[in-house]
């Protein structure tokens, strides 16, 4: 079975092709196999079929199809994605029965690695690459009767004319599967396929876990995709019949190049090629924001009028997964319906539908069944038609600001007549325009098997909570203070920590900061953790330790390092974090070898992830947090290179609407601190924004702001970027090691523009993080930046050290 490998906007990757011969024809037969080094080109010069190697491998060879005249060689289909050929001995053949076969090592007897396995016999088969990007096998002379086609085996790309869906007669299913990585075409963890149960809709899954759904088709669009509307790029349709269910689209203008891609992170995007920028542009993204995450708020999760949170305490902690329950129970005979407008309809796998029934007939059918919970029209065109009934709790319902539709929800008689409303908590409302990330349930408790005494006693001691029975040195516990009552964290035994870190061996050290060393620890259950131990000589002390515990224990976000527990036994002050195998961002972007591993899509992912983490700290968490020490070494990278903000020892917690403060004890790192903070001790969310802007420029350039050197001037990195921006060539800021086909010029320029907005001299001129996230994730017009802070040429007397990062812990403000 074949499959595809397309590179989305954030993850498009260069492909190195070895081509020694390019045939002028678009067909081949059993006497004309395609060898590695040969290609065939579609008649309209649109697509190429041949062998290629991804960027991360010079020996793995794949048979694929890519665009002929687009730089970067965006691959749209791969035959052997999970079975690469080692070396250039591959050969594509079509046999007399009409089967395509990919073989290799013919000199050593030959082995088959992939076959089309067509079940239809052929007399005189030929293979042809069509201008649609479809590789077909057909009888010679019969252009319309395909024996086999690659369009039936999509991977992560849906091209115009392809069907995404199910043949009900044969059970044949066409769906997208993401690639594992930008430079690895093998099958990834995400799928995008039609679920035929109930009234069909398209579901995106990670493994077997549902992550997103489109909502049911309503005649105009899927109910959860308000952006899917008539447009100048493409026409679309959704077909539901006894024979098949599928979604497909065609381009309005054949000169337009556009494709639908499921990228390696599970994001569904329509990409359109821009000749102006010579790059792929995101025309639309399926997942509008994080509120589109499947069942984020459980049953009736928006808490409709007449419903209340099932677990109120969790709701207050922004954990909505248990959903809502009715305030008044239904009694069947006295129930009625409340109309809610502008919503994404709930999941439909347990629904029933009738395409010809009127809305009034639909209401009657629902009312007669005590198990019916809601009804709606199937088709909203021309006043509405058809009937859709739900017979279970309403899952994954949400309010839409635009193009939602009506649903009638069964309610107790006492609720009839009240104004319908979707009651999101005001402080945690999901903003339509922002890509707000996941809130992981707070206070996840981790059991660690301790050592020392009996197994039973050891386990019970490890599970004791700070809010309950305390242990350790009485003086330390007293000094730690009443803050313990505010926390729910596992209290780790120092003995278990010592064993996990090989007695705090130097060989286990993975980092060092002002707090002290950080060790890798492996506990008895195999769990890897990062152990941060307060050094006796640390410039930070118990206050910072308490601050970090109090701060992080209340914060849970995918772009923040997760605190798993702590230890305050005797003189030890230890924090236990999730382990970040790729260490700090600084180890990549400032290292001559490692920086080459960070292509542009990966850097763009990191830039966006840090922005979302800061947005959560500043706006969307229960507390308003100013980090005060955001820098490259305080951004850690997980197994998938996702960024996580760490080190909250210097953070400040604000309440209410407070967004700024003053201090005579300036903490942070030169090169990242805003002017008003470094000089006058004034810190705010805008001082974090300044640090973020510096960090973005460092990620793009691959050089530190502090100690930056250029032969033409004595400005720092901010000044260098500003000069290039004013000269109309901001792209020259880009790290030369990633100026290849993976970078998207429009994205790079927009990131530099946003960074310069963040590092403006005046804090009032800088955007807040919600605007930063919006500017990075959309094509809105950006304001012009003004001069950055510290835009003064330095007098350089000698070359500065390559490790120009000095952490300040005490500075008397002027």
Nearest-angstrom CA–CA distance, 415 and 581: 53
Angle at 10 between CA 8 and CA 15, to 5 degrees: 60
Residue 89 CB coordination number (10 Å): 17
Question: Of these residues, 335, 629, 647, 735, which one is catalytic?
Answer: 629
Residue with tokens 């050969």: 91
**What angle, rounded to 10 degrees, do the helices at 769-777 and 685-701 form?**
30
For residue 428, the SS3 value is: helix
Contact between 319 and 297 (Cβ < 8 Å): no
Contact between 370 and 332 (Cβ < 8 Å): yes
Rounded to an integer, what is the distance from CA 394 to the centroid of its chain? 26
The CA distances from residue 140 to 29, 99, 499, 532, 564, in Å, are 9, 14, 72, 70, 66
Which of 102, 53, 47 has the alpha carbon at shortest distance from 76?
47
Looking at the DSSP assignment, which residues form a beta bridge with residue 374?
A: 390, 409
Pure H helices in 170-246: none
Nearest-angstrom CA–CA distance, 372 and 766: 52
The CA distances from residue 126 to 94, 123, 305, 615, in Å, are 7, 10, 63, 57
Beta strand 374-376 with 405-411 is antiparallel
Known catalytic membership, residue 242:
no
| The two structure tokens encoding residue 812 | 């008397």
Looking at the DSSP assignment, which residues form a beta bridge with residue 50?
A: 39, 64
C-alpha Rg value of the chain to the nearest Å: 29
The CA distances from residue 698 to 230, 368, 679, 721, in Å, are 41, 65, 23, 10
3-state helix, strand, coil in the chain (%, to 5): 20, 30, 50
Which of 548, 582, 577, 550 has the alpha carbon at shortest distance from 564?
577
DSSP codes of every residue in 623-642: SEEE-S---GGGEEE-TT--
For residue 736, the SS3 value is: helix
The CA distances from residue 268 to 204, 211, 601, in Å, are 9, 12, 16
The CA distances from residue 625 to 614, 621, 649, in Å, are 9, 8, 12
Nearest-angstrom CA–CA distance, 359 and 364: 9
Contact between 648 and 679 (Cβ < 8 Å): no
Which of 306, 311, 315 has the alpha carbon at shortest distance from 374?
306
Looking at the DSSP assignment, which residues form a beta bridge with residue 27?
A: 128
Nearest-angstrom CA–CA distance, 72 and 66: 10
Nearest-angstrom CA–CA distance, 567 and 449: 14
Residue with tokens 């790079």: 748
For residue 283, the SS3 value is: strand
- Counted residue by residue, the chain has a size of 814
The secondary structure of residue 6, as a DSSP letter, is -
Nearest-angstrom CA–CA distance, 603 and 474: 47
The secondary structure of residue 224, as a DSSP letter, is T
Beta strand 351-354 with 324-326 is unpaired
For residue 141, the SS3 value is: coil
Which residues are known catalytic residues? Answer: 629
């Amino acid at each position: 079975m074949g499959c595809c490998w397309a590179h989305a906007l954030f993850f498009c990757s260069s492909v190195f092709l070895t081509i020694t011969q390019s045939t002028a024809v678009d067909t081949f037969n059993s006497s004309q196999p395609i060898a590695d080094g040969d290609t065939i080109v579609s008649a309209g010069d649109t697509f190429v079929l041949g062998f290629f190697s991804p960027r991360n491998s010079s020996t793995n060879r794949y048979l694929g199809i890519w665009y002929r005249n687009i730089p970067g060689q965006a691959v749209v289909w791969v035959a052997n994605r999970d079975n690469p050929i080692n070396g250039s001995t591959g050969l594509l053949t079509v046999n007399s029965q009409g089967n395509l076969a990919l073989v290799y090592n013919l000199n050593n007897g030959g082995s088959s690695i992939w076959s089309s396995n067509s079940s239809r016999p052929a007399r005189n088969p030929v293979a042809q690459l069509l201008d649609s990007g479809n590789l077909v096998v057909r009888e010679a002379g019969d252009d319309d009767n395909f024996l086999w086609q690659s369009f039936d085996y999509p991977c992560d790309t849906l091209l115009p004319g392809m069907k995404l869906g199910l043949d009900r007669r044969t059970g044949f299913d066409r769906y997208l599967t993401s690639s594992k990585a930008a430079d690895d075409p093998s099958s990834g963890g995400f799928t995008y396929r039609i679920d035929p149960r109930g009234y069909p809709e398209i579901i995106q899954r990670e493994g077997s876990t549902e992550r997103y759904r489109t909502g049911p088709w309503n005649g105009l669009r899927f109910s959860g995709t308000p952006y899917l509307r008539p447009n100048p790029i493409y026409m679309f349709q959704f077909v539901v019949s006894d024979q098949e269910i599928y979604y497909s689209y065609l381009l309005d203008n054949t000169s337009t190049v556009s494709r639908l891609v499921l990228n390696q992170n599970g994001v569904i995007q329509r990409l359109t090629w821009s000749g102006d920028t010579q790059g792929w542009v995101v025309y639309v993204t399926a997942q509008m924001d994080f509120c589109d995450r499947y069942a984020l708020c459980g049953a009736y999760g928006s808490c409709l009028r007449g419903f209340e949170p099932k677990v109120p305490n969790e709701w207050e902690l922004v954990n909505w997964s248990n959903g809502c329950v009715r305030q008044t129970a239904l009694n069947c005979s006295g129930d009625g319906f409340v109309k809610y407008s502008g919503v994404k309809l709930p999941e439909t796998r347990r629904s029933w539908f009738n395409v010809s029934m009127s809305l009034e007939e639909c209401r009657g059918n629902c009312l007669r069944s005590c198990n019916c919970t809601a009804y709606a029209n199937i088709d909203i065109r021309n006043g509405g038609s058809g009937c859709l009934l739900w017979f279970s709790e309403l899952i994954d319902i949400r309010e839409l600001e635009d193009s939602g539709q009506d649903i009638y929800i069964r309610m107790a008689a006492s609720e009839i007549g009240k104004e319908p409303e979707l009651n999101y908590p005001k402080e945690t409302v999901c903003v339509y325009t922002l890509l707000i990330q996941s809130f992981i349930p707070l206070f996840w408790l981790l059991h660690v098997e301790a050592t020392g005494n009996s197994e039973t006693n050891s386990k019970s001691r490890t599970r004791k909570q700070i809010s309950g029975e305390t242990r350790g040195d009485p003086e330390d516990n007293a000094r730690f203070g009443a803050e313990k009552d505010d926390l729910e964290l596992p209290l780790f035994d120092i003995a278990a920590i010592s064993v996990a870190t090989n007695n705090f061996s130097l060989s286990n050290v993975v980092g060092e900061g002002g707090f002290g060393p950080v060790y890798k620890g492996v506990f008895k259950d195999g769990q890897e953790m990062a152990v941060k131990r307060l050094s006796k000589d640390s410039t930070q002390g118990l206050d910072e330790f308490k601050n970090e515990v109090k701060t992080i224990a209340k914060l849970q976000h995918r772009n923040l390092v997760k605190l798993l527990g702590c230890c305050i036994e005797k003189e030890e002050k230890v924090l236990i974090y999730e382990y970040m195998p790729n260490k700090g961002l600084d180890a990549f972007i400032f290292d001559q070898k490692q920086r080459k591993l960070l292509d542009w899509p990966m850097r763009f992912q990191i830039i966006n992830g840090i922005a979302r983490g800061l947005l959560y700290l500043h706006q969307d968490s229960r507390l308003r947090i100013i980090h005060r020490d955001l820098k490259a070494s305080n951004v850690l990278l997980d197994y998938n290179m996702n960024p996580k903000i760490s080190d909250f020892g210097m953070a400040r917690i604000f309440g209410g609407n407070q967004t700024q403060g003053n201090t005579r004890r300036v903490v942070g790192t030169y090169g990242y601190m805003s002017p008003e903070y470094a000089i006058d001790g004034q810190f705010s969310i805008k001082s974090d924004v300044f640090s973020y802007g510096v960090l973005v420029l460092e990620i793009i350039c691959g050089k530190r702001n502090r100690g930056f050197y250029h032969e033409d001037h004595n400005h720092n990195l901010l000044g260098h970027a500003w000069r290039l921006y004013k000269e109309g060539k901001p792209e020259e800021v880009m790290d030369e090691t990633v100026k290849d086909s993976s970078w998207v010029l429009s994205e790079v320029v927009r990131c530099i523009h946003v960074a310069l907005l963040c590092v403006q001299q005046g804090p009032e001129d800088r955007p807040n993080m919600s605007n930063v996230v919006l500017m990075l994730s959309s094509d809105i017009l950006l304001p012009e930046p003004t001069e950055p802070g510290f835009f003064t040429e330095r007098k350089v007397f000698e070359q500065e050290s390559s490790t120009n990062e000095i952490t300040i812990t005490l500075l008397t403000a002027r």
